[in-house]
Amino acid sequence: MAILFSDSTYRADNIFAALQSVLPDLRKFPDTGNREEIEYAVIWYPQAGSLRDLPNLKAIFSVAAGVDGIMNDTTLPDVPLIRTVDDGLTQGMVEYAIYNVLRFHRHFHLYDRQQHGSEWKQHPQIRPQNRRIGVMGLGEMGRAVAEALVALKFDVRGWSRSPKEITGIKTFVGEKALTDFLSQTEILINVLPLTTETRGILNAKTLGALPDGAFLINAGRGAHMVDGDVLAALNSRKLTAAALDVFTPEPLAPESPFWKHPTVTVTPHIASITDFSAVARNIINNIKLLKNGQIPAGLVDRQRGY
């Protein structure tokens, strides 16, 4: 049994090395060796067509929670596609979201600026019960983020494509409820999967539906944002500030206006960092499940795209 790794990003070599320490006979595209030996593929953003002509391919594993890197590849073989579901990934996202919510909620972005001018000035402390947070996307990650915010006593709302029930939060479903959801959201956290429907969802229209002076936290994908619309909303003070972890393309270009924008916090796609040896161990477990005819967690519905 051989496994083929295919990724076209700047991180491919590092990911390959980390996976190789756990997975036996892992090959890196285009060095496939005998293509008949390859039974599984591991990908993030694979080279187009790299998974064609693998006659014995049984399944494809994404090293990430998202599979947006592969859904546009029309040459993708019709085998089970399994994304990564990992406690560590979810926990990382919860930490990123909580940190940035507290940063805006308690004005730490202002205190940081004041420190540069040795300025001692307090800002009002709002009770979390009076702070309305909106979570876009209520999968494993969004649900965990919403629950952690409820535990901290925030007033939490959630929006998703399909109906979800989460104790202590009001949920909104589908396109029609989006404006209503946004109009009640002071701090918006995006953890949606990237699909045809969600691409560009952070645009002039949706940002315009937020209350004036709202905050944006984007930990989904860079392509959820229409970059110019986000910048315009910041410049007009529609958005007070934004914490952005994901960009198009990555790494974020040195000349991007996001780096130097006074009300933008840039982090280098670290909201939830994959532990690739954990991913590799997970893949080994999932291969066992598939061999036993069981369905692993993270099986992707290709119609929905996640």
Q: Write out the catalytic residue numbers.
A: 221, 269
- Both tokens of 83, joined, read 């994304």
Q: What are phi and psi of 206, to 5 degrees?
A: -70, -40
Strand order of the β-sheet with 38-43 is 26-28, 2-6, 38-43, 59-62, 81-82
Residue 107 CB, nearest distance to its own copies (Å)? 8
Which CB, 43 or 89, lies closer to its own copies? 89
Residue 12 CB, nearest distance to its own copies (Å)? 15
- Both tokens of 296, joined, read 């692993």
Residue 20 CB, nearest distance to its own copies (Å)? 19
Beta strands (DSSP E) in the chain are: 2-6, 26-28, 38-43, 59-62, 81-82, 132-136, 155-160, 170-173, 187-190, 214-218, 239-244, 264-266
- The DSSP string of 81-125 is EE----HHHHHHHHHHHHHHHHHHHTTHHHHHHHHHTT-----PP
Which CB, 115 or 183, lies closer to its own copies? 115
Q: What gap in Å lies between CA 35 and CA 253, rounded to an integer?
A: 37
Residues that bind its own copies (CB under 8 A): 88, 91-92, 94-96, 98-99, 102-103, 105-108, 111-112, 114-115, 118, 120-125, 127-128, 148, 151-153, 250-252, 254, 259-260, 265-270, 272-273, 275
Strands 187-190, 170-173: pairing kind: unpaired
* 178 closest CA partner among 154, 153, 198: 198
Residue 106 CB, nearest distance to its own copies (Å)? 6
Residue 3 CB, nearest distance to its own copies (Å)? 25
CA 68 from chain center: how many Å? 10
Which CB, 170 or 269, lies closer to its own copies? 269
Using omega within 30 degrees of 0 as the cis cutoff, is the peptide bond preceding 249 cis? Answer: yes
Q: What gap in Å lies between CA 85 and CA 65, rounded to an integer?
A: 6
Which CB, 176 or 260, lies closer to its own copies? 260
Which CB, 123 or 288, lies closer to its own copies? 123
